[in-house]
Amino acid sequence: MSRVAVIGGGPAGMLAAGEAAGRGHRVVLFERNEKTGKKLFLTGKGRCNLTNACPVEEMFENIPRNPKFLYSALYGFTNRDIIDLIEGMGVPTKVERGQRVFPRSDHSSDVLKALNAYIAARGVELRLHSHVEALGRRDGSLMVTVNGREEAFDAVVLCTGGLSYPSTGSDGEGYGFAQGLGHSIVPCKPSLIPLVTEEEWPKQAMGLSLRNVTLKALRKGKVVFQELGEMLFTHFGVSGPLVLSASSRIADAPEGVKLLIDLKPGLDMEALDRRVLRDFEKNSRRQFSNSLGELLPAKLIPILVALSGIPGEQSVNSITRGQRQAFCRLLKALPLTVAGARDIQEAVITRGGISLREVDPSTMESRLVPGLYFAGEILDVDAYTGGFNLQIAFSTGALAGRSIRCGGFDE
Ligand SMILES: Cc1cc2nc3c(=O)[nH]c(=O)nc-3n(C[C@H](O)[C@H](O)[C@H](O)COP(=O)(O)OP(=O)(O)OC[C@H]3O[C@@H](n4cnc5c(N)ncnc54)[C@H](O)[C@@H]3O)c2cc1C
């Protein structure tokens, strides 16, 4: 039996603690906040998209970089395993569009209750209000300093999360602990992040949410993202599920990427032209700007009119075929240019973190410091939306917790 410290009471830390305790280790879970899982509570807009019900092989397609590193973790503790764990604690789940799994109650707090019940049932000693200030090594032990007091452990699982939403307690402190022990950190960038646009007009449409539109992202003319879904205009640019997904494809260099919004993806150019022509015939005596009420949300009309180059006061019956077709092209490809991403603090997930070259993928143990393990967002892995990021946290946490050996460690 080893004395194990798990640092960070998020989803990764809770799984690591529970699995280690389930194998007979004495486990202390340190969480700086007054409760566990503050970020988990916010997930899925408070509904917690806890995993994805796709076959495990498909998970890797949703992990843009370093997916191979996660083979042992994702096959060792699968989406089925987390669903069984949560349901076993009395919280039924349901599967929604895109195979996203949520608690049937739609309350993230229920997932959190299940995880708290799971660590309690496994005998984890949970220490709240316990801010870990330092991590070091001495005489074959790992030394954890908490609220000014140092304690010795045989093994430590570092699960302090990434850099986003620091008010939840995840402010990147763990990177410093790992660096202090010789680990390298791949520079952190925001992934799944709202995008700032060069154009000012999204501000005029602020608050407008578009459903069933297609968003395309192009870098140097090459399509790097294309999906149908929902997006939102904000005071700085664009946000919403489609934009967050697009952002993770361009996280490394978002500046200059072109976005094209297809406002009418259900109609090809010909069908759209017929549709617009019908609207124009109905409104033939009106001014152009007063003829678009059935075609577009009110907030977009002045914007589209301005971008079309057709004077708003031009009479509809004088609009030429060429003008109409150019307008249809605009509806099919409303352009925006990305000026950059919002600050990392607003990201759903952090890209970068503990360099995977220094971590054994079959155990999550450090290759540099025996007895030190990593799990969750602190690692240099990130995934697209759909429940994959939480699954990574659960799976890497479970693998680390299960891999801890008995007894102390020789250096
Ligand atoms: C708004 C939002 C919505 C999201 N929605 C989803 C979703 O629906 N589905 C999905 O799959 N993913 C979602 N994510 C991503 C998901 O929340 C993260 O991937 C996941 O929480 C990472 O888990 P973790 O345990 O590694 O880190 P965290 O959840 O960040 O937990 C780290 C914990 O460590 C503690 N800690 C940090 N430093 C110390 C210290 N020095 N001492 C003690 N404790 C410390 C923190 O207080 C925190 O509780 C969302 C993220 C955000 C921000």
Sheet holding 93-96, edge to edge: 51-52, 100-103, 93-96
C-alpha of residue 94 to centroid of ligand 1, in Å:
22
For ligand 1, atom 30, the nearest C-alpha belongs to: 161
- 134-138 long-range CB contacts below 8 Å, 24 or more apart? 134/177, 134/180, 135/7, 135/177, 135/180, 135/181, 136/180, 136/181, 137/181, 137/369, 137/411
301 with 293: CB under 8 angstroms?
yes
- Ligand 1, from 30, 101, 348: best to mutate by most atoms within 8 Å of Cβ? 348
C-alpha of residue 11 to centroid of ligand 1, in Å:
7
153 with 172: CB under 8 angstroms?
no
**Which pLDDT does position 33 carry in this prediction?**
98
> Which amino acid is present at 47?
R
Q: Which of 264, 348, 326 is nearest to 300 (CA)?
A: 264
Whole-prediction pTM: 0.92
**Which pLDDT does position 65 carry in this prediction?**
85
**Which pLDDT does position 407 carry in this prediction?**
60
User: What is the DSSP track for 197-215?
Assistant: ES-SGGGGGTT-EEEEEEE
Contacts of 393 (CB under 8 A, 6+ apart): 10, 11, 12, 15, 159, 375, 376, 377
130 with 146: CB under 8 angstroms?
yes
**Which pLDDT does position 410 carry in this prediction?**
41
**Which pLDDT does position 212 carry in this prediction?**
95
**Which pLDDT does position 305 carry in this prediction?**
97
| Beta carbon of 175 within 6 Å of any ligand 1 atom | no
For ligand 1, atom 16, the nearest C-alpha belongs to: 390
pLDDT tens series, the chain, 411 aa: 899 999 999 999 999 999 999 999 999 999 999 999 999 999 999 999 999 999 999 999 999 889 999 999 999 999 999 999 999 999 999 999 899 999 999 999 999 999 999 999 999 999 999 999 999 999 999 999 998 999 999 999 999 999 999 999 999 999 999 999 999 999 999 999 999 999 999 999 999 999 999 999 999 999 999 999 999 999 999 999 999 999 999 988 899 999 999 999 999 999 999 999 999 999 999 999 999 999 999 999 999 999 999 999 999 999 999 999 999 999 999 999 999 999 999 999 999 999 999 999 999 999 999 999 999 999 999 999 999 999 999 999 999 999 998 764 444
Q: Which of 102, 97, 60 is nearest to 78 (CA)?
A: 60
C-alpha of residue 169 to centroid of ligand 1, in Å:
8
C-alpha of residue 301 to centroid of ligand 1, in Å:
40
CA distance 16 to 122: 11
- Domains within the chain, CATH numbers bracketed: 3-189+350-403 (3.50.50.60), 194-341 (no CATH)
- Ligand 1, from 39, 108, 132, 381: best to mutate by most atoms within 8 Å of Cβ? 39
| Beta carbon of 165 within 6 Å of any ligand 1 atom | yes
232: its two tokens: 């939102």
| Beta carbon of 247 within 6 Å of any ligand 1 atom | no
